[in-house]
């Protein structure tokens, strides 16, 4: 019952905070992120990163990205694959260079500096998805490029992490890299087969099942199945959920009611817990000691994605306003960067001395990112 009580408190406070931030014309997700910091280790220490909280948060981000897939125009996504690739590549190169330079200036050894730069290369588009959805911008050209670039960015970040962690720990081998690439090819083939034949057949079958919300349950089974498969091949589970959403949305006789049902399930309980969970592990014990390092990691982290991804959009033919939107949409780091940082900490690539500074910077960037995106879209309404 302790977790049930805690869950009730989180949901109640989430509603209150969202209402206040919406009233102030600010992204509600920022309020939920700040709420997580207040409830977590950094301030009140009421909510701890327990297994139950982490489980609800994981389901929350999977459902959020599933919804993004359901609302994505596949034709537009294919059309903008080239720009998405440019946005992702330049959005990795510049943050890596700026973060590496910052770390070296502060006297961090080369091995750890390289790993920290990889941490800040990752994009967690789930925060941007929430802002894009709230402003009805998700299905725009810019929103589609952000989603496409996030998929490529995800794969690039995991590839760099795999090679870098193996190289820096001395356990790298060509065979491991080959196995990883093989698994990704298998995932791509399975995804295509599912999109063309399996998902349409399952969704057609669901219409003949006489059970309450059978179609929505089948959609969720596909979502969780694809998320599991993506995780098994060392990709992010949210990538599997995203492609599952695209596959279902493009199945014949797709019922828009699925969106409504998933939104109700997600936003009623799981998605608020995900946003709150991002900030609950934040501690300020080294904040004053490493103040300028945190400031520079935060600033370079924002500039790197904003200008790197924005440049990728600009050379792909987007105007300055759209490039600003796309660059802003790629700023957020969130759970992806936190996961990479944790992996590095576990294998001694990220020392305890700088771990808190990196985590604080990631969360500060994640909190600030929605402001940039909202400002960019405000200057470039549909």
Domains and CATH numbers, the chain: 2-118+140-378 (1.20.1530.20)
CA distance 58 to 48: 15
Q: What confidence tens digit (pLDDT) does each residue in 165-206 have?
A: 666 666 666 777 788 889 989 999 999 999 999 999 999 999
167 closest CA partner among 114, 108, 119 = 114
Strand segments, DSSP code E, in 116-190 are none
Q: How far is CA 115 from CA 60, 121, 292, 331, 347, in A?
A: 28, 10, 19, 19, 11
Full pLDDT tens readout for the chain, 382 residues? 689 999 999 999 999 999 999 999 889 999 999 999 999 988 999 999 899 999 999 999 999 999 999 998 888 999 999 999 999 999 999 999 999 999 999 999 999 999 999 999 988 888 999 999 988 899 899 999 999 998 888 788 777 777 776 666 666 667 777 888 899 899 999 999 999 999 999 999 999 999 999 999 999 999 999 999 999 988 889 999 999 999 999 998 788 899 999 999 999 999 999 999 998 988 888 788 899 999 999 999 999 999 999 999 999 999 999 999 999 999 998 888 888 898 888 778 899 889 989 999 999 999 999 999 999 998 677 6
pLDDT in tens, 295-305: 999 999 999 99
């Amino acid at each position: 019952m302790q977790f049930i009580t805690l869950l009730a408190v989180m949901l109640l406070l989430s509603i209150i905070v969202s209402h206040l931030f919406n009233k102030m014309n600010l992204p509600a997700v920022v309020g939920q992120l700040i709420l997580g910091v207040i409830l977590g280790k950094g301030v009140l220490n009421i909510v701890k990163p327990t297994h139950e909280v982490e489980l609800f948060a994981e389901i929350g981000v999977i459902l959020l990205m599933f919804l993004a897939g359901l609302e994505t125009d596949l034709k537009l996504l294919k059309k903008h694959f080239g720009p998405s690739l440019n946005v992702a590549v330049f959005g990795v190169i510049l943050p890596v260079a700026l973060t590496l330079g910052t770390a070296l200036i502060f006297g961090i050894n080369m091995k750890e500096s390289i790993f920290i730069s990889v941490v800040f290369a990752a994009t967690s588009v789930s925060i941007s998805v929430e802002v894009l959805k709230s402003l009805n911008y998700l299905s725009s050209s810019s929103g589609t490029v952000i989603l496409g670039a996030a998929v490529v960015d995800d794969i690039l970040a995991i590839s760099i992490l795999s090679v870098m962690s193996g190289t820096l720990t001395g356990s790298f081998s060509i065979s491991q890299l080959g196995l990883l690439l093989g698994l990704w090819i298998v995932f791509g083939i399975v995804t295509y087969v599912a999109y063309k034949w399996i998902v349409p057949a399952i969704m057609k079958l669901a219409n003949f099942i006489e059970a309450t919300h059978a179609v929505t349950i089948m959609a969720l089974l596909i979502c969780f199945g694809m998320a599991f498969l993506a995780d098994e091949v060392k990709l992010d589970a949210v990538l599997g959920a995203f492609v599952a959403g695209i596959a279902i949305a493009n199945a014949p006789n797709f019922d828009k009611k699925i969106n409504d049902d998933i939104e109700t399930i997600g936003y009623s309980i799981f998605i608020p817990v995900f946003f709150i969970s991002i900030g609950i592990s934040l501690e300020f014990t080294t904040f004053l000691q490493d103040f300028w390092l945190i400031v520079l990691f935060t600033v370079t982290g924002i500039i790197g994605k904003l200008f790197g991804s924005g440049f990728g959009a600009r050379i792909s033919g987007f105007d300055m306003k759209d490039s600003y939107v796309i660059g802003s949409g790629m700023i957020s780091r969130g759970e992806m960067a936190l996961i990479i940082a944790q992996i590095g900490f576990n294998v001694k690539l990220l020392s305890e001395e700088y771990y808190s500074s990196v985590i604080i910077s990631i969360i500060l960037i994640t909190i600030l990112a929605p402001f940039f995106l909202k400002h960019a879209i405000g200057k470039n309404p549909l």
